[in-house]
Structure 1
Amino acid sequence: MNNKYAEYLPIAIQLMVTLGFISVTLLSSWLLGPKVKSKKKLDAFESGLDPVGNARVQFSIKYFLVATLFVLFDVEVIFFYPWAVNFNYFAEAVNKWEGFVKMLLFMTSLLIGFIYVIKKKALDWE
């Protein structure tokens, strides 16, 4: 087993086991599951009570906007962690200021985006 694909064998085995498990589970569920369908069984289940009213409730778009902005800025902040962990590596590199300047540019673009959000008043609730 000295060919170039030998190192991929564990991944292939895991993929086959996973696909086999999924196939067996779906097939057994289809074969052993109940086949009788009625209106009562196809209704939505709400803690044993009959569904009342419309399930679609309208929310203000501000909730989605704030959630999107939170995710956006939160993901950008995640990029600060590897930089902080590897700060000594950047300081000892050939060009000592290269890592600092790159992170400064990243932080500047983040700050410009945040200023844009504030100028557009995206976080105002009124």
Structure 2
Amino acid sequence: MPEYFDGYSVVGLVAVVGVLFVAAAFAGGRLLRPMVPTPEKLLTYECGVDPVGEGWAHTQIRYYVYSFLYVIFAVDAIFLFPWATVFAADGFGGTTLAEMFVFIGFLAVGLLYAWKKGVLEWT
């Protein structure tokens, strides 16, 4: 049984080393950078334009909806490439085909829901 957990200990060790590396990088950056706050440095920076007026602005929600739809289909594409390589391996054909139909079915239900709600219409 202890041999079973050897793989987990390696993963845990790599995770701890990664967290320590990031913490050391942040600490080193904090210690080495010059800290001279001026009024110009404390201003909000927005694409080279000085901020004017209040900080509240109205944005169209449809842009966020399209970005979420893009993320959904990008994840779908990322999942399809490894699936295609496993599907060609011996002994995995039927199982991976069924899993892919379930995955694409979930995506199709989500797309159908978005279509029925009128999310895909640009008005």
| TM class, shorter-length | 0.5 to 0.7
Deviation, 1:55, is: 4.7
Distance 1:28 1:17 in 2: 16
Aligned pairs for 1:100-111 (under 5 A) are 100-111=97-108
Deviation, 1:102, is: 1.8
Cross-structure match for 2:57:
57
Distance 1:125 1:102 in 2: 33
Q: TM-score, length-normalised on structure 1?
A: 0.64
How many residues are matched? 113
Q: Which amino acid aligns with 1:22?
A: F
Q: Which of 32, 45, 49 pairs up with 1:28?
A: 32
Q: Which amino acid aligns with 2:42?
A: L
Deviation, 1:16, is: 5.0
Cα RMSD (Å): 3.3
- CA deviations over 1:37-66 (Å, ceiling 9, x no partner): 5x555334564x754334543211111111
What secondary structure does 1:114 align onto?
Answer: helix
Distance 2:77 2:114 in 1: 16
Distance 1:82 1:40, change over 3 A: closer
Aligned pairs for 1:1-126 (under 5 A) are 11=14, 16=20, 18-29=22-33, 32-34=34-36, 39=39, 42-44=42-44, 47=48, 51-89=51-89, 92-93=90-91, 96-126=93-123
- Once superposed, which parts of structure 1, at least 4 consecutive aligned residues long, lie more than 6 Å away? none
- Higher CA-based Rg: 1
What secondary structure does 2:58 align onto?
Answer: coil
Q: Which amino acid aligns with 1:119?
A: K
Distance 1:107 1:58 in 2: 35
Distance 1:53 1:110, change over 3 A: same
| Larger RCO: 1 or 2 (CA < 8 Å, sep 6+) | 1
